[in-house]
Amino acid sequence: MQLTLNAKGQNASVMSYLLAKNPNNIYERKQKGHYVRLFYSRFSEEETEVTIFVTPDPIELTKNSSSTYDITHYINDREFAVSSIFCSFIRTALGTALNGQPADEYKKWVDEPFDFQVDFGPIASSLSDETLYKLFTPLGFDVLIEEGEANYQFELKKRSTARFVTLTGKTTLQRVLRQLFVLIPVIDDYKHYYIDEKEIEKLERYGEGWLDDHPLKEMILKQSLRFEEVYKLIDQPAKEKHKVEEPVKKRLNDMRYEKIIETIENLPKKETIVDLGSGEGKLSVRLGFIEGVKQILAAEPSQIATKKALERFEKAAKKESFLMPERIWSSLFYYDERLAGKDVMILCEVIEHIDYERLPKIMDTIFSEYKPESLIITTPNAEYNQVYELGDSFRHTDHRFELDRKQFQEWCAERSRDYPYSFTFEGVGEIHETLGAPTQLCLFTRKEERA
């Protein structure tokens, strides 16, 4: 993941002073198991080009340090794309330019515009090219978006889903960096770090002079301040002004879990349950209170999430009639004999986090190898996103796709076509007259095999 800044014009070499980085030296620092490096590829009075890039530390890959390199990093591209994580890595290196605080004799150049070309990528985003154009063109940039080449040894897809962005326009170094530090996390559709009062102040500071007039201001704020904790830190008028769908999603989570519990309680066989992709155990802990259940497998590839789940289970264990789920380290991408032959399997808000082309193999494994009596899948209804006014954005942080009701029903029918399963559909959450419910649920039921 990298960012390149090319400045042309008289006195372009002053960039080195604005960045407080000597063009004769390579800057290298270690940040949270990654290397941050900065170097100049061009340096003259008329043109200066500097690149900052981040790479994982290969030594860390050989260490048994799950807190640094969780397995989910290998099935999730966020650690390797230009994102909020990337911004957090490079913020210290670019701090002088971001804050406009070079040595006193060079402060007069902070407000000097240059002809800039800015290249960054790869990005992994749910936003369309059209939305990306709408984010940057109002700031005075010409925008070029290119997709990476996909050089697979077998026919999977011809184009990579990763994109590279080039911006050209006349601006100051501080201004373009501040715009990038606001908009890259918006493009990423995910902020990995906790948003507190300092984050709000940073948004206000970096957005000064351009954000208030941006036609997509509300969308930018929704993406930047998406967590509920933010609204406890700002006054009521601002809270109403920047209100987003998160409180609805939190209530929807409860409704989704309740519907899954209700569905399981009505099943004839429910003694053994597998919660696939159980995460931090929010659903699994509720499964532990279902009467008649004798085994719950909380299957999750992330050791960090599994640790948090254990804390949740241990807290619930103090209550009566709680069946402690068994935490198992397991991934959907590999066959695990421990998951075979169970009464119920659950994929709660999981499939949309997986690349679409990888799902058929996973479903084939479930139906042909694991053979559960019942399979429950929940996933967002893409049509309902209109209610949340999300535009081209997906519903949540790391979704690779979202299906409308017709697409989901056709997908379920196609996946189970060669296997002895019937299926039914239900909506979960407040139903819109034309758009349906926010969540859709499919219950697959294994048919009795005749002799």
Residue 228: name the closest of 258, 253, 257 by CA: 253
Closest by CA position to 73, among listed 329, 351, 301: 301
CATH number at residue 21: 3.30.1610.20
Within a domain: 211: no
Considering the domain boundaries, does residue 86 fall inside one? yes
Would you say residue 249 has pLDDT above 50?
Answer: no
Q: What is the pLDDT of residues 14-47, one digit of tens each?
A: 999 999 999 999 899 987 678 899 999 999 999 9
- CATH number of the domain that 430 lies in? 3.40.50.150
Do 167 and 44 fall into the same domain? yes
Would the pLDDT of 118 be above 50? yes
Q: What is the pLDDT of residue 88?
A: 82
Do 27 and 167 fall into the same domain?
A: yes
Question: Residue 99 domain-assigned?
Answer: yes
297 shares a domain with 431 = yes
Q: How far is CA 240 from the centre of its chain?
A: 25
- What is the token pair recorded at 251? 């209530």
Higher pLDDT, 33 or 322: 322
Note whether 274 and 403 are same-domain residues.
yes
pLDDT band with cut points at 50, 70 and 90 for residue 60? low
199 in any annotated domain: no
3-state secondary structure of 4: strand
The confidence score (pLDDT) of residue 228 equals: 39
CA distance 340 to 329: 15
- 297 shares its domain with 433: yes
Same domain for 163 and 259? no
Same structural domain for residues 261 and 356? yes
Burial degree of 393 (CB within 10 A; 0-12, 13-18, 19+): buried
* Pair (254, 336) in one structural domain: yes
- pLDDT tens-digit readout, 370-423: 999 999 999 999 999 888 777 777 876 578 899 999 999 999 999 999 999 999
**Residue whose C-alpha is closest to residue 38's, from 46, 47, 48:** 48
Distance CA 205, CA 197 (A): 12
Amino acid at 96: T
Q: Please give the pLDDT value at position 20.
A: 94
Same domain, 280 and 429: yes
Residues 313 and 418 in one domain: yes
pLDDT of residue 268: 95
The percent of residues in the chain predicted with pLDDT above 90, rounded, is 59
Let me know whether 167 and 287 are in one domain. Answer: no
Whether residue 175 sits in one domain with residue 296: no
Range of the domain at 279: 247-446
* The total number of structural domains that make up the chain: 2
pLDDT of residue 375: 98
Of 193, 212, 235, the residue that ends a domain is 193
